[in-house]
Amino acid sequence: MDILTWTYILVGLSFALYIGIAIWTRAGSTKEFYVAGGGVSPLANGMATAADWMSAASFISMAGIIAFAGYDGSVYLMGWTGGYVLLALLLAPYLRKFGKFTVPDFVGDRYYSNKARVVAVICALFISFTYVAGQMRGVGIVFSRYLEVDINTGVIIGMCIVFFYAVLGGMKGITYTQVAQYCVLIFAYMVPAIFVSMQLTGTPIPQLGLGGTVADGTFLLDKLDGVLGDLGFAEYTSGRKGMIDVFAITLALMVGTAGLPHVIVRFFTVPRVKDARLSAGYALVFIAILYTTAPAIAAFGIYNTIDTVADKNINELPEWVDNWGKTNLITIDDKNGDGVVQYSANAELNELKIDRDIMVLASPEIANLPNWVVGLVAAGGMAAALSTAAGLLLVISTSVSRDLFKTFKPDISEKLELGIARLSAAVAVVIAGYFGVNPPGFVAEVVAFAFGLAAASFFPVIIMGIFSKRMNKEGAIAGMISGLLFTLAYIIYFKFINPEINNADHWFLGVSPEGIGTVGMVVNFIVTYVVSKMTPEPPQNVQDLIEEIRIPRGAGEAVDH
């Protein structure tokens, strides 16, 4: 069977599975809609968290970044994995013990203020919409290639699928759908990686293949360094980012992880505090499988791409170039008219442009693997993008229905609250689709901005809310607003207002827009601390509550306040 047929079969079967699970597990109450009834097992929650966490940026774009950035791409690996450890150790158990459904819920109660809750809702919406834009873009890229439609049509198809199971099932439906999606995406990621590793280095373990030798006995990374150097690019294993920027991006991704509302809410779906810790451990193992494989896929992909396209006759290029050329994600411009593809670091000479988001999706075709593997990767890419999109849309709908409507109309009926939550999710799907059609950057770059916003807004008030009894509502509100506005203004200035000066010569302290969340976080910490010191202490009952949350009582039920 051809690629298109295999894609229809495998993507169709996976979609049928997701929709079937959504119908089977549809939410019948607000608790099921928000936190899946609080009865998810640690193993299932670990798999769902991994799927929620490993978005289109992880599956589709991360290996692409590493393929083209080489050593510099490691900041995403270090930041995203390190951040999850930070989340699991410092935040998840305490937030679970607090017993609330959402981050704005925690902020509102901890800082005894509906104003603080509203500011937290605004921050959650900014983060979630920025993040979901990257996911919808990923959905569009997958559909554009494998269903042979344009990217915009692909985004619309993805919107319809997410709308169905996110709006119908809520967190209960999303959780069990994400368990299935994790199985699909990790299988789809590992199978081609194992195939290509065997082809190039003779070892079935991609992680070992990265350090292995190719057919002529040369180490793969040495070969890549030499090939890229001959073409005028920097060596694959060398870094070009400044040390301050590497540190800032890595830290922004780490603390941004610990402030992401759609990941944090997953720890409210398990019965006990002990289960929150256990599910975090499971999730870290499941995430590590993909993250340790990504550098190998990146190196294999760029090596095969150069080997099959660079310095080749345009009329003799492999079929995958023509397939992806239809999506305009790979273009060839024969500038000198010699009929040969020139790939060069010199922009005036370079005739090959490759969108880095296609590296994982195209790798089976580049390596000439069986058609069913290509279809499997398409299903995996869809699973990664849709799982995170659904989690983000739930955060958006919960923030609107519970943290806004429920706060100001506490007597609202459960049926009406559930209806508002579903309507909010539906509106969010439409807005997310718009950002998917008009994205502010490639998938991983957009996601990096979301992490920066999370680092600058949520992380300081959550961490100080848990570990400092002196932090009060005035400090939290001022800190969230200042951190968010500073980070947002910096990103908008360099990415949209003056993109032509978006370089290290003009950045503040040499920190790029992808890493500015670290500076925004510092601004938040300072403002929160100073304002809290200048204003009254929190009420005694709030201080007692914080003390109670921090007492390590092991596996007790979450306290209901």
Distant-in-sequence, close-in-space partners of 41: CB < 8 Å, separation ≥ 6: 270, 275
Give the separation between CA 169 and CA 154, rounded to whole angstroms: 23
Last residue of a domain, one of 360, 375, 396: 360
Give the separation between CA 2 and CA 295, rounded to whole angstroms: 29
Tell whether 255 and 346 lie within a shared domain.
no
What's the pLDDT at 445? 61
The crossing angle, in degrees rounded to 10, of helices 114-146 and 151-201 is 70
Smallest CA-to-CA distance from 188 within 373, 1, 386, 3 is with: 373
560 vs 211, higher pLDDT: 211
Give the separation between CA 106 and CA 117, rounded to whole angstroms: 8
Residue 256, in any domain of the structure? yes
**Residue 117 — very low, low, confident or very high, per pLDDT cuts 50/70/90?**
confident
Question: In the numeric block, which tokens belong to residue 213?
Answer: 């030798």
What's the pLDDT at 477? 93
Tell whether 377 and 341 lie within a shared domain.
no
Domain count, the chain: 2
**Reduced to 3 states, what is the DSSP secondary structure of residue 481?**
helix
**Mean pLDDT across the chain, nearest whole number?**
81
Tell whether 515 and 464 lie within a shared domain.
yes
| Alpha-carbon Rg for the chain in angstroms | 23
Tell whether 382 and 339 lie within a shared domain.
no
Tabulate helix, strand, coil % of the chain (nearest 5).
75, 0, 25
- Mean per-residue pLDDT, 288-309: 89
Tell whether 210 and 227 lie within a shared domain.
yes
Vertex 133 angle, CA 127 and 138, to 5° = 135
- pLDDT of 556 > 70? The answer is no
The model's pLDDT over 64-88, given as tens digits with 9 standing for 90+, comes to 888 888 888 888 888 877 877 777 7
Residue 557, in any domain of the structure? no
What's the pLDDT at 194? 94
What's the pLDDT at 332? 86
Give the separation between CA 511 and CA 281, rounded to whole angstroms: 32
Residue 294, in any domain of the structure? no
Which of 16-20, 57-61, 298-302 is the most confident on average?
Answer: 298-302
Instruction: Say which CATH number the domain at 83 has.
Output: 1.20.1730.10
The crossing angle, in degrees rounded to 10, of helices 3-24 and 371-400 is 30
The model's pLDDT over 371-422, given as tens digits with 9 standing for 90+, comes to 888 888 888 887 777 777 777 777 777 777 777 777 777 777 877 877 887 7
Residue 297, in any domain of the structure? no
561 vs 339, higher pLDDT: 339
Distant-in-sequence, close-in-space partners of 116: CB < 8 Å, separation ≥ 6: 107, 108, 473, 476, 477, 480
What's the pLDDT at 561? 46
Tell whether 329 and 374 lie within a shared domain.
no
Length of the chain: 561
Give the separation between CA 379 and CA 10, rounded to whole angstroms: 6
**Residue 560 — very low, low, confident or very high, per pLDDT cuts 50/70/90?**
very low
Last residue of a domain, one of 342, 360, 378: 360
- pLDDT of 558 > 80? The answer is no
The residue written with tokens 């979301």 in the block is: 450
What's the pLDDT at 175? 77
What's the pLDDT at 414? 75
Tell whether 350 and 372 lie within a shared domain.
no
392 vs 528, higher pLDDT: 528
**Residue 525 — very low, low, confident or very high, per pLDDT cuts 50/70/90?**
very high
Lowest-confidence pick of 74-78, 283-287, 422-426, 439-443:
439-443
- pLDDT of 34 > 60? The answer is no
Smallest CA-to-CA distance from 57 within 126, 138, 140 is with: 138
What's the pLDDT at 533? 92
- pLDDT of 36 > 60? The answer is no
Question: In the numeric block, which tokens belong to residue 328?
Answer: 């305009």
What's the pLDDT at 167? 65
Tell whether 326 and 455 lie within a shared domain.
no
Lowest-confidence pick of 49-58, 137-146, 160-169:
160-169
Tell whether 325 and 458 lie within a shared domain.
no
Segment holding 330, helix H or strand E:
strand 330-332
Give the separation between CA 359 and CA 304, rounded to whole angstroms: 10
Which of 18-22, 104-108, 444-448 is the most confident on average?
Answer: 104-108
What's the pLDDT at 555? 42
Which of 124-128, 268-272, 428-432, 464-468 is the most confident on average?
Answer: 464-468
- pLDDT of 184 > 50? The answer is yes
- pLDDT of 236 > 70? The answer is yes
- Residue 406 amino acid letter: K
CA distances from 429 to 10, 324, 435 (A): 24, 27, 10
The model's pLDDT over 239-261, given as tens digits with 9 standing for 90+, comes to 778 889 999 989 988 888 776 76
Vertex 312 angle, CA 311 and 318, to 5° = 140
Tell whether 184 and 126 lie within a shared domain.
yes
Residue 556, in any domain of the structure? no
Tell whether 377 and 349 lie within a shared domain.
no
Number of H helices, E strands in the chain: 25, 2
Residue 93, in any domain of the structure? yes
- pLDDT of 485 > 90? The answer is yes
Give the separation between CA 537 and CA 87, rounded to whole angstroms: 27
- Mean per-residue pLDDT, 146-154: 76
Tell whether 458 and 311 lie within a shared domain.
no
Neighbours of 135 (CB within 10 A): 31
The model's pLDDT over 504-514, given as tens digits with 9 standing for 90+, comes to 888 988 898 88
Q: Domain of residue 347: give its range.
A: 304-360
Give the separation between CA 32 and CA 414, rounded to whole angstroms: 12
Residue 561, in any domain of the structure? no
Residue 85, in any domain of the structure? yes
Smallest CA-to-CA distance from 55 within 155, 231, 185, 167 is with: 185
